[in-house]
Amino acid sequence: MTHILTRAAALLTLACAIATPAAAQQATVSDLAVPEGAVPVRLVGYGLVVGLDGTGDRALGSTGARHTVQSIVNLLRNFDIEVPAEMLRTRNVAAVLVTAELSPWLRAGGTFDVNVSSIGDATSLRGGVLWATPLVAGPGGPAYATAQGPLSISAGMTVSAHMRNENTARIPNGGLMRLDLPRADFASSSRLLLKEPNLDTAVRIATAVNAAGTGATARVEDPGSIVLELPANDAGPAAAIAAVLATPVEAPARPRVLIDVRDGTVVAGGSIAVGDAVVSHGAITLAVGDPADAVSAGEVRMPRGATVQDVASSLHAIGATAPVIAAIFEGLVSAGALRAELIVR
């Protein structure tokens, strides 16, 4: 009888665990949504990185990276220096694409981070300095900002040295606003735009705003938009929007797995379990839930109940490259063995 009661209690505990909804996390409206008109702005530019130690674009005279040679000629011409293109050697220079994402409310004089990526055949940008580069919102548009400065390249924990990616870099606070961006009137915002559209999250936000006692009312328009009606007060609409954005919300906790394909870093929130599955990619096979029998080269066998961290550690241990790790996790998601949002960057 005792055995039967113990077994029944175990089954009841398991049923309760399955029925319990996903844990919620405390957040504010500003963590989940932005006022209409506050959508980030992306700027882009073409520039040159100089000061490289022989790792720049391979170009000599009329062969190789002609765009880099022509860019150097144009740059020197701006300083009244004429150098024949066929005389230039560019191994200490690399042509790059400069990108940035910033707040639309950033004013002239403000600074922001920029990303730099090689567009030629440079082998490394390490030690380089970005020449002053105009940044525009679109082709033919005005240069709202400029970017320049020494490049910062992450050391990156990689499986082997040859996997290290040094063709991308960042410049912290390397962008400088020169002009104010065109923007909507913040005080006239009448909608909240969810950073990640989700109907459940939108309903939670609207419910929290309506119950907060700020005088504002909210109505879900669609999974990505919430219509606001702000109260009239002496402090103005900006104060009312600030009160709405500070409203606490019980946001649903969504399991996520982030994989960086440049260095193989895998980040997972909590202990996310991986279900039974077999994924083969190239010479590597991952089996989760199979008996722990003999393992051949390129095989990774994990016991039932293994977590994302366990799988990532095992793949790193056998020398799997970052793209292979990403592909295997994508296979786990497709097979339904990984119930989490996979973000590969």
Nearest to 165 by CA among 332, 32, 345: 345
For the segment 129-158, the average pLDDT, to the nearest whole number, is 86
Read off the pLDDT band of 172 (50, 70, 90): very high
Range in 78-87, 188-197, 209-218, 225-234 with the lowest mean pLDDT: 78-87
Range in 6-15, 46-55, 126-135, 213-222 with the lowest mean pLDDT: 6-15
Nearest to 59 by CA among 84, 89, 95, 82: 89
Read off the pLDDT band of 60 (50, 70, 90): low
In this predicted model, which residue has the larger pLDDT, 344 or 183? 344
Per-residue model confidence (pLDDT) at position 291:
60
Beta strands 59-60; 248-252: pairing state: unpaired
Per-residue model confidence (pLDDT) at position 129:
96
Range in 91-100, 227-236, 323-332 with the lowest mean pLDDT: 227-236
Chain-centre distance for alpha carbon 193: 19
pTM of the entire predicted model: 0.67
* Residue 3 pLDDT > 60: no
The Cα 306–Cα 317 span in angstroms is 16
Per-residue model confidence (pLDDT) at position 292:
57
The Cα 49–Cα 45 span in angstroms is 13
* Residue 64 pLDDT > 70: no
Read off the pLDDT band of 110 (50, 70, 90): very high
253-306 per-position pLDDT tens digit? 778 898 987 777 888 876 789 999 999 998 899 999 866 555 677 888 889 889
What long-range pairs does 150-159 form, CB within 8 A, spacing at least 24?
A: 151/49, 151/116, 151/125, 151/126, 151/127, 153/125, 153/126, 154/263, 156/262, 156/263, 157/263, 157/264, 157/265, 158/263, 158/264, 158/322, 159/264, 159/316, 159/319, 159/320, 159/321, 159/322
For the segment 13-37, the average pLDDT, to the nearest whole number, is 64
- At which residue do the structure tokens 């674009």 appear? 57
The Cα 159–Cα 263 span in angstroms is 8
Domain extents for the chain?
Answer: 24-37+189-252, 41-177, 256-344
* Residue 127 pLDDT > 70: yes
The Cα 101–Cα 127 span in angstroms is 24
pLDDT > 70: what percent of the chain? 83
- At which residue do the structure tokens 């665990």 appear? 17
Q: What phi-psi label fits residue 188: left (phi over 0), alpha (psi between -120 and 50 degrees) or beta?
A: alpha
DSSP three-state, residue 19: helix
160-171 per-position pLDDT tens digit? 444 457 899 999
* Residue 19 pLDDT > 50: no
Neighbours of 71 (CB within 10 A): 19
The Cα 68–Cα 88 span in angstroms is 10
Domain 24-37+189-252 CATH (choose: 2.70.98, 3.60.90, 3.30.70, 2.10.240): 3.30.70
DSSP three-state, residue 106: coil
* Residue 8 pLDDT > 80: no
Q: Which residues contact 236 (CB under 8 A, 6 or more apart)?
A: 187
* Residue 29 pLDDT > 70: yes
Kindly report the average pLDDT of the chain as a whole number.
82
For the segment 123-144, the average pLDDT, to the nearest whole number, is 93
The Cα 38–Cα 101 span in angstroms is 12
Per-residue model confidence (pLDDT) at position 256:
85
For the segment 95-103, the average pLDDT, to the nearest whole number, is 95
Q: What is each CA distance from 135 to 109, 113, 152, 223, 323, in whole angstroms?
A: 14, 12, 19, 33, 31
Read off the pLDDT band of 117 (50, 70, 90): very high
Read off the pLDDT band of 24 (50, 70, 90): low
For the segment 186-191, the average pLDDT, to the nearest whole number, is 72
The maximal CA–CA distance of the chain, rounded, in angstroms, is 98
Per-residue model confidence (pLDDT) at position 293:
58
Per-residue model confidence (pLDDT) at position 4:
40
DSSP three-state, residue 80: coil
In this predicted model, which residue has the larger pLDDT, 24 or 22? 24
Read off the pLDDT band of 186 (50, 70, 90): low
